[in-house]
Amino acid sequence: IMRFTVSASSGRARLGHLALSGGPDHPVAMATPGYLIYNRCGSDPHLPQSPAGILLTPLNHWLDKLALLRQAGNLRQLCRLRPDRQLLLSLTDHLDYYPTPGVTAQHVGLPTRSGKAPLTVELQAELTLLTSPELVQPLADCEIREGDGRKRARKSVDRSLAFYDRFTTALEQQGGLGGGGPALMASWVGGYSAEERLRCLRELESRGADGLVVEGFRYYNQPVEDFRLAQCESVLTEALQQQQRSQPPRPLYFPGLVHPADIIRAAELGFDLFDGSLPALLTRRGLAWLTSATGGSWWLHVGDVELLTATDRPLDPGCCCRCCRQFSLSYLAHLSLSNEILASILLMEHNSARLAAFFNELRSAIESAESLGGLATKYAAAVVPPTAAVAPLANDQARLKDDEA
């Protein structure tokens, strides 16, 4: 059971709480704006254990592990998840980019380690029962290019609504919908057409969707750092302005935003949830997120040979995470250059702590009714560099180990 309440607002930005029942002894609640804990197959990349919260589990990572899930009977048993860790079963991993998946009226092709696999409504309903998520994103047609016209946007909305209706029916027939079933986070599609976005929004609200996931802006073969909110802000603003605030309020989830300034602006537009993929993205590239910009940059590449002479100073004196309290920057650089898995673990812990601090700062600004423009200006230079501009940790063993899991 999901309950979302709004406690305060500043303009369209709003503070709230998202509560999920993990049984009578394990309720889970998170403050919004907040982030979902990014993971691939039941655990954070590089981290031995995920913290308590809502885990974002991309469905495409499980499509080629269907036999394993059937044998285990349940994802929670397979991954030994604690009861205080809840799941949102999303469609795809926004950190990965790949060729267009292909969409028909019957299925959506999703990328897996074994190649592209078709996902039908019936198969998604079965996977939903096997993974037992608290939140699930039904199948949708999200494959739209920026230059596509309204006709393609209309088809995207029609297909997604049909997928939604068939999924709820299939889940109900299999006994997975009802008081104890997952909440439905429907895909809000419509491409770059404000009219189709508004139509989709109204149709989903009339169907009683528990929450909305913004899809259909970022194309599949586009690196996640290339997508900027400015590409679709005008469309979203127009659609949201025409649609009155829904009652009861529904959480709005915007996946695929990794630049802090974009997250701030999206919260200013009224979005409540974001994916927590930024720490994993930075860690893959050997970057540490600093508490303040140094030399005009918010990121520090820990694989730099010159950092071996950094003596005993911490990675970030302004951070109180375990990495910064117990290890020196020179030691972290040594681990990175020696290709030790501990380098990725410590860097992921630090970047995760920085993401949590960033969202605390964002919520505090909304609570004090401050203009979020100042906060956005502060983080304007915090732009994740493209892959070609960064030398990632050599042979990232932690990521390879996670991929093979």
Tell me, yes or no, if the pTM score tops 0.85.
yes
DSSP 246: P
Report the candidate in 139, 40, 46 with the shortest Cα–Cα distance to residue 93.
40
Q: Quick count: other Cβ atoms within 10 Å of Cβ 388?
A: 7
DSSP H helices, 33-131, are 66-72, 75-79, 121-131
Instruction: Give me the helix-helix angle, 233-242 and 194-206, nearest 10°.
Output: 50
Query: What pLDDT digit, counting tens, does each position of 349-371 carry?
Result: 999 999 999 999 999 999 987 77
Please give the chain's pLDDT, 405 residues, in tens.
788 999 988 888 999 999 887 544 556 788 999 999 988 776 666 665 556 678 888 888 888 888 888 888 888 888 877 777 788 899 888 887 766 667 888 998 888 887 788 899 999 999 998 888 889 999 999 887 777 788 999 999 999 999 999 999 998 887 766 556 889 999 999 989 999 999 999 999 999 999 999 998 876 677 888 889 999 999 999 888 877 666 788 999 999 899 999 999 999 999 999 999 999 999 999 999 999 887 778 999 999 888 888 778 899 999 999 999 999 999 999 999 999 999 999 999 999 999 999 999 999 999 987 778 889 889 999 999 887 555 555 444 444 444 444
Q: Given this model, what pLDDT does residue 50 score?
A: 55
Strands 53-58 and 34-38, by their bridges, are parallel
Q: Where are the alpha helices (DSSP H) in 243-315?
A: 260-269, 278-284
Q: Which domains does the chain have, with CATH numbers?
A: 2-276 (3.20.20.105), 283-404 (no CATH)
What pLDDT does 403 receive?
Answer: 46
Apex CA 321: angle with CA 311 and CA 265, to 5°? 115
User: Is residue 351 within 8 Å of residue 289, measured between CB atoms?
Assistant: yes
346, 335 contact by CB (below 8 A)? yes
* Adjacent-strand bridge partners of 14: 9
Partners of 20 in beta bridges: 2, 28
Coil, helix or strand at residue 142: coil
The whole-number pLDDT of residue 246 equals 65
Kindly report the backbone phi and psi dihedral angles of residue 321, in degrees, each rounded to the nearest multiple of 5, phi listed first: -75, 170
Q: Please report the pLDDT score of residue 404 as a whole number.
A: 43
DSSP helix/strand/coil, 201? helix
